[in-house]
Homo-oligomer: A and B are copies of this chain.
């Protein structure tokens, strides 16, 4: 709830155009819709043309369906992350434009295709097995109105693969780097580009990777200062933040 909104409401109360009880009511109800098991935040999409987003894991298919149904009343793009095939079945019945990305479990309903980002978002992975996380980032950034390109399997132990793509790296306005195991790629990319780099540790690896902890710690300690980190496997967060930056 912003100070501006409060000031505006106060003015209306002052002018007698809004009663005290109603004002209080508005203050309470304006920003979200209470569905019982969830409170849908229509606030940000309304203001900023962002998509409505549902984190699918841990929710029942019924809950996901109900949330999508209510979101469809507004005109925004809709994104469900970490969904499964059953959820997709239900969502597709609500809107035939729904598209499923099985590697990442993303469901996207694109209802507008306006490009809002200023430049290119580049999604880079260290290995082939990091692609599901990269896909989540890629779909998120696309649904939020960005031009997106990808560069897969350019990990640091075969540096020539990365150096061979320096063109693409130079073109990007924001770079997302997904890497598991030792998570060294963001540091190297960070040293090659002037753009901000969003590092996504992935749970790819085994043994002392401790499900992404090694990559996470590696990225936190990056010696490249233009790197910041999101949660392990959090392709969505990386794609979202890249979009926020790309709109600046």
Contact = CB atoms under 8 A, between A and B. Distances in A.
Interface of A: 1-4, 6-7, 10-11, 13-14, 16, 19-20, 23-24, 27-32, 36-39, 41, 43-44, 47-48, 53, 55, 57-59, 63, 118-119, 126-129, 131, 152-161, 163-167, 170, 173, 180-184, 187-188, 190-192, 194-196, 198, 201, 203-234, 236-237, 240-241, 244-245, 248
Contacts of A153: 37-39
A164 B20 contact: no
Given A24-B6, A158-B191, A206-B232, A129 B225 contact: no
Contact of A29 (B164, B170, B219, B225): B164
B7 A160 contact: no
B191 A157 contact: yes
B126 A223 contact: yes
A163 B1 CA distance: 9
A155 to B, nearest CB: 5
Contacts of A24: 3, 6-7, 10
B7 A222 contact: no
B16 A14 contact: yes
A136 B167 CA distance: 34
Nearest to A126: B223
